[in-house]
Every structure is written in C-alpha cells, then in structure tokens.
C-alpha cells in the first residue's frame, strides 16, 4: 500500500509545463513541429523555452543553460534539451528525474552534467522508443527531437504516461563533461570561464559566492584577476569588486557576482570579452587573489 502511494506520487510529480531547449535556431519550422507534437498530445500543456540558440552541437552550453534557468521553474516541470551531435549513434535517450522533482528529457551525452550535480539524480530511465515515439515516425532516423524527445516529454508532462512508463530504470549515472571545478589554494581562487554573457560581453566563471566568501574578498576590494587560455596569460588586471556596474566609470572593467552568484568580470557600458579577446569553455581559466 505504501509502495502504491509512492508510485502514485511519482507519477503525478509533473505539472503540465514543458520547457524546450535546442540548437535548432528559430529560422525554420523544427521547433514549431516539436511544439505541435506536444499540443497534439494534450492541448492543456503549457509550452515554453529556455533557448534555441545553443551553438550547434555545443553540449557544454546546453548543460549551462539548463543549470541557469531550470531552478526558477515550478517543480514538476519537464525540460526537453536536444543538442545531439550523436543522434542515431549508440548514445542513450533518457529522462532524468532530479532529487527535487524536475524532469529532463535529453540524449545522455553530457547535456545533463551540471543539472545532475546541482539538483542530484533521483532516477534515470531510458526512453523505450518502441512505445514512446510519435506514431508513424519510425522511418525517420534523424529527428529524434520531435518524434521521441518532444513526444515523450509531452506525454510525461500531461500524465499520459507515468515516469515508469518512459522505459527501463538505468543505474543513476550519466555521461559527464570533464571540467575544472573551482578551488581555493594558498589564497588564490581558480576556476573555469564557463560562458560569455554574449549580449554584453561579460565573462562568467564557475567560482561561486560561497568559495569567495571563504577567501574573505568583499565588495569594495581591489582584486587581481588573471585569465589564461590553457597556459597562456591573456589578461591580468586589478579590478574593483562591486555590486553595481555604475560603481566604476563608463568603459572601465570591474568584477562582480552575476545572477547565478558566480564571480564575473565586465566593462561598465562596454564589452569585456571583445575588448580583451576572451573566450569560454574548459580551456579558459580564471585566477583571483586579493591585491597586495
């Protein structure tokens, strides 16, 4: 009886919201077809987006965007992430249920790395494509996004299938992208430049607020920031640690905590990344220490 209750609560953890993310762009009808499939499953679903402008095949960025947005949605939301360079190969199609009851429908190719770290894995199931596939689509080898991922996500979100009915339970492990995690060594904080906030050219790291607090850095400090591309020093400067861009004159650089509470650098009313030719990803590292 207890087990039954437990199964029931699992199967109704979904909330009817589906949030889509792809690297398809919005110039053609591919995203629209995915949403059409979802509406055909159940007109009462509510459909939203993270972004469809993930650079083609960029799994690292897919992982970051899910981490950035997912926690702000209601629990029970079903996310569909389709950045899938290995479509048709042996990579698995999975649904991950996090400890806090979000659902992520995605190829198991690293896209779920950061969400799994942040929210924890409750269960992972492999999508049984014999059952969970848009009727009539079996001959399509190349549009899993529409025929498997969107269809399964919609049916799960609408309660047409339980989480169990997605497919067989896998061991709670996923393919993970290897990247430099933030560390504090001898008063120096080291981390990775995870992403450029491209609209503004701000440079975001994975050095989080808690680690910074252990260093004793505080707003108003001048910090020595170094940026490396692999082992080459690309930028070095003393930057004010501020809580508003306007704390420094226009076109001057500063450092701050971004909306994810991560250490970041920017130019007030300017573009840090373009000015100093900074990139992002596992190859780009940042070091921060208090100026002496």
Q: How far is the CB of 128 from a copy of itself (least distance, A)?
A: 19
The beta-strand segments (E) located in the chain are: 17-22, 46-49, 78-82, 93-98, 103-107, 121-126, 169-170, 183-185, 188-197, 202-208, 222-229, 232-240, 253-257, 262-267, 284-290
Provide CB contacts within 8 A for 58, sequence distance 6+: 23, 83
* Token reading at 8: 């029931």
For residues 65 and 125, which CB has a smaller minimum distance to a copy of itself in the complex? 65
To the nearest whole angstrom, how small is the minimum distance from the Cβ of residue 1 to a copy of itself? 31
- If the CB atoms of residues 7 and 40 are measured against a copy of itself, the closer one turns out to be 40
Which residue, 58 or 165, is less far from a copy of itself as judged by CB?
Answer: 58
Shortest distance (Å) from residue 18 CB to a copy of itself: 12
55 vs 187, beta carbon nearer a copy of itself: 55
Pairing relationship of beta strands 46-49 and 17-22 according to DSSP bridges = parallel
49 Cβ contact list (under 8 Å, min separation 6): 19, 20, 21, 31
Burial class (CB in 10 A: 0-12, 13-18, 19+), 237: middle
Start-end of H helices in the chain: 2-11, 30-41, 59-69, 113-119, 144, 151-157, 209-215, 272-276
When the beta carbons of 12 and 57 are compared against a copy of itself, the nearer one is 57
- Euclidean distance between CA atoms 146 and 137, whole angstroms: 9
Is 29 or 187 the residue whose CB approaches a copy of itself more closely? 29
Rounded to a whole number of angstroms, the minimum distance from the CB of residue 54 to a copy of itself is 8
Binding site for a copy of itself (CB under 8 A): 15-17, 19, 23-30, 32-37, 39-40, 43, 46-53, 56-57, 65-66, 68-74, 77, 85-89, 139-143, 146, 195, 197-200, 209, 243-247, 256-259, 261, 269
| Shortest Cβ 152–a copy of itself spacing (Å) | 15
Q: How far apart are CA 13 and CA 9, in angstroms?
A: 6
CB of 169 to a copy of itself, least distance (A): 26
Query: Helix, strand, or coil here: 80?
Result: strand
Nearest residue (CB) to a copy of itself, 9 versus 32: 32
How near is the Cβ of 72 to a copy of itself at its closest, in Å?
3
């Amino acid at each position: 009886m207890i087990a039954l209750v437990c199964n029931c609560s699992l199967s109704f953890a979904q909330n009817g919201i589906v949030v889509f993310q792809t690297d398809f762009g919005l110039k053609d009808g591919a995203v629209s077809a995915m949403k059409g499939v979802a509406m055909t499953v159940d007109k009462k679903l509510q459909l939203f987006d993270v972004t469809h402008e993930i650079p083609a095949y960029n799994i690292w960025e897919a992982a970051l965007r899910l981490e950035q947005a997912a926690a702000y949605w209601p629990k029970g939301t079903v996310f569909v992430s389709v950045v899938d360079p290995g479509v048709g190969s042996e990579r698995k199609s999975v649904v991950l249920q996090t400890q806090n009851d979000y659902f992520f429908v995605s190829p198991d190719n690293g896209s779920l790395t950061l969400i799994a770290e942040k929210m924890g894995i409750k269960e992972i199931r492999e999508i049984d494509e014999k059952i969970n596939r848009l009727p009539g689509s079996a001959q399509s080898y190349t549009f899993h996004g529409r025929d498997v991922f969107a269809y399964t996500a919609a049916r799960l979100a609408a309660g047409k299938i339980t989480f169990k009915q997605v497919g067989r339970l896998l061991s709670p492990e996923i393919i993970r992208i290897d990247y430099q995690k933030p560390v504090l060594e001898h008063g120096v904080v080291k981390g990775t430049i995870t992403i450029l906030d491209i609209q503004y050219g701000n440079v975001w790291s994975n050095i989080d607020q808690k680690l910074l607090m252990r260093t004793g850095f505080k707003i108003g400090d001048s910090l020595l920031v170094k940026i490396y591309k692999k082992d080459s020093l690309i930028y070095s400067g003393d930057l004010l640690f501020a809580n508003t861009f306007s704390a420094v004159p226009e076109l001057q650089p500063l450092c701050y905590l971004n909306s994810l509470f991560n250490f970041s650098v920017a130019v007030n009313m300017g573009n840090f990344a373009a000015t100093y030719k900074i990139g992002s990803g596992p190859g780009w590292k940042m070091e921060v220490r208090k100026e002496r």
